[in-house]
Structure 1
């Protein structure tokens, strides 16, 4: 079987491709994780729960963001 992928979703941060074998290829930056659609659904649920908890703990923060380049850290 020849494996071919098609892009099913994409934004500035990630790309999701579906293979003809049914597997998903989820790429974030230089990292690609190959997973079954059911595992991707569980990953989605875990990320949503984590982001909700972060926002509930500190509504002003929302999603965590890196604002420092590290040059303000002690040497």
Structure 2
């Protein structure tokens, strides 16, 4: 992730880069976290394989 001088975030996963405002990135983070919590609540066996990450382990 890079932050532009204009304030936008550039988030790259593999060969895809998404440019977004910090508030949009926070909304995306919250939506993904809620989805993961729902998946784990529906199937607790899936929670065991999940590792907490802040994205440092993702390819850039």
Interval of TM-score (by shorter of Structure 1 and Structure 2): 0.7 to 0.9
Q: Return 5+ residue gaps in structure 1 as ranges.
A: 1-15, 65-75
Q: Which has the higher contact order (CA 8 A, sep 6+)?
A: 2
Is 1:36 paired with 2:21? yes
Write 1 or 2 for the structure with the bigger share of strand.
1
Tell me the distance in 2 between the aligned counterparts of 1:63 and 1:30: 29
Alpha-carbon distance in 1 for matches of 2:48, 2:37: 9
CA RMSD of aligned residues (A): 2.0
When Rg is computed on C-alpha atoms for both structures, the one with the higher figure is: 1
Q: How does 1:49-60 map to 2 (within 5 A)?
A: 49-60=34-45
Q: 1:37 to 1:63 in 2, by over 3 A?
A: farther
Contact 1:51 1:63 in 2 (8 A): no
Q: List per-residue Cα deviations over 1:18-38 (Å, max 9, x = no partner).
A: 001100001111110000001
Aligned length: 50
